[in-house]
Chain A
Amino acid sequence: MLSHRDINVRVDGIEPSVAVENPSNALELSTILEEASAEGHAVIPIGGGTRLEVGGAPTKYDVALKLGKLNSIVSHNPADLTCTVESGITLENLRSVLSEHGQFLAIDSPFPEQATIGGVIASNAPGFLKWQLGHPRDSVIGMEVALPNGTLIKSGGQVVKNVSGYDMARLHIGAFGNLGVITKVSFKLTPKPVRESTISIEFDDLSLAYGFAQEVYKSYVMPLSLICSHDFDKSSSSCKSLVRIGGRERALKRQKDLITEIGIRNHSRSIEIIDQPESDQLWIDVLNESVKGVDSEGYIKINTRSSCAPSEVEHAVRLIGTSLKDTGCLLSINSEPGFGAIFCNIHLPEKKSRDESIGLIQKIRESLHEIESWLIVEDVPTEWKSVLDVWDGGQISSIKLMDSLKATYDPDSVLNPGRFVTFQS
């Protein structure tokens, strides 16, 4: 069964003790899982490997289950605005096929050329397309999943309106392959806007940028994306807002005019309009950067994500900034004020002890808990994970029920033991 060992399947420094499997289809995958569970092996499903460091460290890891060969488009009928794909297809490959038909999937992720659909869905990857088009979960209309014992089950369908049995796909979105391995996903698609532009607006400080964002939120404009980006390490307090808009000619012009007006009214320092194709690449770069951050020698880099009410985003950003003030940390934040999401890239000085650094993270968390927000640490040195709950699980209501789901669907802890929030120590 042992085929080969591969650095790409290393999770938190641990390699699979038994095998690396690379099935070519769902049936093969099902057999592998069936055997692994019978043997009592622990399995970690792996898509593009862009988010393997996210989550708790595995408590057991025997088989790496690569999904990369399950990469076909099962069906795409453009006139139905739906598609079904195998979970190992990369976001970029799916995008390029859909784009030929003037369509797109309202889900984005860093590193789209590597990240797979299954991985993006299972790990709730960060993305900036949520303002108008909603949470990635809203695009999923059906799913095929291999249960830990290998049984392939399906739910939902290829239609956008469906109340036929339980909406089982919900169990697996953002669930880190904790209850099953996603093998196929059906999506509802969105027509690509006829034209798109991005407006980049700089402000002298945070309040102006968030004031601008609030005013856009209240206007009739429905941007595809709107983010505010702010670096706390720089001497200047400037903040940049990027607004992505789309539509037919007159609608796009009206939106540009409205956003420019709102920008000027909020004392923008500069306004730049970027059209396609530059604007397309710009969003890929921004998303990649938001995760990668800048390389800084002498620092440990971590990524975090939080969510809160849209009106609290500025407050939350300030709380995070204040918690790290004068600590020698570098902090850059991208937020989605219309959706209520905050992504931080934090550089902690290496000279700080682990406990000191974790203390800072807990300090941020405590301030966020006050405003009903939370902080997941997505990218953190493995050795911290034994003392840091990366999920901020204390903030999750109904965690007992999540444990019960795990105990029911994966009683032998075959899948991803220790990595998801429901892990019972």
Chain B
Amino acid sequence: MTTFETAAPSREELRAREPDNHGYATSPDGLKLYCEVYGTATTTLVLLPPNPISHSRIWKAQVHYLARQHRVVTYDGRGNGRSDSPDPAGFWPGEWYVSDCLAVMDGTGTDVAVLAGICGDGVWPSVQLAATHPERVRGIVALAPGVPMLAPHHPWKAAALQTIDERLADPQGWEKLNHHYIRENYRGFLEFFFAEMFPEPHSTKQIEDAVAYALDGPVEAVLMEQTITPDTREEIEEVCRRVSCPVLEFDDSPPEAIAEAIASGIGREVDYRTVATGGAARAAAGIAEVLR
């Protein structure tokens, strides 16, 4: 994928559907989290944001369809969109993802929901929530699932992480996943990064949107060092095993080990599916299937 120069839209596009309700939830540490609620059906679907690199608009292709039959809650995670940002001087503990999602569910009056998330920022907190609050999670839709330590990183990402704090003369490719480069050339990093996220040909609009959403937040939030709890593979697997609700997965990205790992971690008694996909419409249809 050749990167291209992205242009930020001068104003937000007209939406396919406006929220029926919007407002702020408050996180346990006092940050305001911007939430939107679409539809009034009894079954709620919470679409977790991949923050701070993006925000709730990343789900724009799903909201209209899903809200025709379900109540849909989206929110901007801390560090992007219309939500507050944490103090960039500190660490970013992984628990924030779980507690922020719970704060949004409480704030929007959502007792129980199906959770849908993308990658590690969305899937792992969904798994943790389902394990610790089974009464509040009816199901999980995992897109390109990421759960810490269950599968190795792509080798190129693993290599990039080795030099993430080093100052590189002219970083190329995944070397751009580098704190110095990101701080000094955030857009350049984003254009590279989202070109990697969208390997499908003809993805210009999706890349442009994603870069624009990232630029809605401060680069400092992206640069915060994130910590993972629990921090051993055994404990993470133990959390996965406690999930008893249905899980639907969408993943067509190698290594398939990620999907296999989450499957083995979650265990046999779970209603487990894998759907290889790109395509937002397909994802939306798959989500609707779990909700049925």
A and B are partners in one complex rather than unrelated chains:
no
